[in-house]
Amino acid sequence: MPNKDNMTTMHEKDITKEKSRQKVVKLFVQVMVYAFLVAMAIIVLFPFYWMIISSLKTLDEYRMSVPTFWPKTVMLSNYAEAFTTANLGRLFVNTMIVGVISTLLSLVITVLSAFAFARLEFKGKDLLFSALLATMMIPGELFTITNYSTVTQFGWMNTYTVLIVPFLVSVFYIYLLRQNFMQIPNELYLAAKVDGTSDLKYLWKVMVPLALPTLISITILKMMGAWNSYIWPRLVANDEAHRMITNGLRNAFTDTTGDVNYPVQMAAVALVSAPLFLVFIFLRKYIMAGVSRSGIKG
């Protein structure tokens, strides 16, 4: 029979082998996970890489039957040509006017509505909030015809008003902020009312600072939505004075024969996409923080 020391030694060897096996398995899993993430990153980033290198090519190189993965001649002049050809300066100004004004007005409406549903007591509050949430299940495309008919009757066509007013109210943003407000203890509100603080002062001094990450997220998302808007501006404000970025690039690089200067068009797309890339890179933590802090309680 094996003695006690031999059994102990064999047990220790088994433990060592098991630990080694677990380390190998753990290392293999990590390698596979990182390989998967790298593959997904390449798939996601490749279209942007292709956009950039295409914007630096000549038209003849772009049309080659065998594509090149780096331009033979770097054409930085494509960016200057894109800026002047598409009148990007005017398009940027129009988009910023619509984006900034609509974002500020939407924030005011969202904050007041979320505060009312989170703290104020009035008859039919829950029913009204449920009705608002129910509208989120209706596709936005269904509102296009009725909105178009309405703004036509109001005489808003080809104005900044038609680009701003129809989308000031967002049920999703109201729901998001309301859920964040619900996490703030109600005792603070009751104590403020005892001290004679008005609702608006309490909202501005207490709730808005505490919900600042969510408000930043809403601001970023609203600006990005205005920046990427395409269908509605195409329908109601397609004149030169009110044309926005997404529509301004549509036919700007097509000559009289119908040929498209794709490298210059790619350069314009890269210029237009750059602000969104910067917003995502530098402010992504605020987007995640604002969304993660909402919806936990409610």
What is the 3 state secondary structure string of 77-121? HHHHHHHHHCCHHHHHHHHHHHHHHHHHHHHHHHHHHHHHHHCCC
Query: Is residue 72, in this structure, part of any structural domain at all?
Result: no
pLDDT in tens, 202-219: 888 888 888 888 888 888
Please tell me whether residues 281 and 175 are part of one structural domain: yes
Q: Is residue 236 part of a domain?
A: yes
pTM for the full model? 0.77
Whether 243 is covered by a domain: the verdict is yes
The pLDDT tens digits for 1-33 are 455 556 566 666 767 777 788 888 888 999 999
97 and 41 in a single domain? The answer is no
Q: Is 260 helix (H, G, I), strand (E, B) or coil?
A: strand
User: Do residues 230 and 91 share a domain?
Assistant: yes
Whether 172 and 239 share a structural domain? yes
End-of-domain residue from the set 14, 38, 55: 55
pLDDT > 60? residue 295: no
Confidence of residue 107 (pLDDT cuts 50, 70, 90): very high
Q: Are residues 35 and 154 in the same domain?
A: no
Residue pLDDT, tens place only, 47-100: 999 999 999 999 888 888 888 888 888 888 999 888 888 888 888 999 999 999
Query: Is residue 261 in some structural domain?
Result: yes
Mean pLDDT of 106-127: 91
3-class state of residue 243 by DSSP: coil
Same domain, 104 and 24: no
- Map tokens 């909030």 to a residue: 129
- Residue 77: inside a domain, yes or no? no
pLDDT in tens, 206-256: 888 888 888 888 888 898 888 888 888 888 887 888 888 888 887 778 777
Does residue 65 belong to any structural domain of this protein?
Answer: no
Total domains in the fold of the chain: 2
b/e 273-285 (16+ beta carbons within 10 angstroms → b):
bebeeebeeeeee
Domain that holds residue 153: 85-292
Confidence of residue 298 (pLDDT cuts 50, 70, 90): very low
Mean pLDDT over residues 146-171, rounded? 90
* 216: number of Cβ within 10 Å: 16
On whether residue 130 sits in a domain, the answer given is yes
Q: CB under 8 Å to 44, separation ≥6 — which residues? A: none
Average pLDDT, the chain: 85
- Same domain for 240 and 95? yes
Tokens 């980033």 belong to 45
pLDDT at 217: 85
Q: Do 261 and 173 fall into the same domain?
A: yes
pLDDT number for residue 185: 85
CATH number of the domain at 189, please.
1.10.3720.10
Residues 179 and 51 in one domain: no
Q: Are residues 102 and 214 in the same domain?
A: yes
Whether residue 283 sits in one domain with residue 149: yes
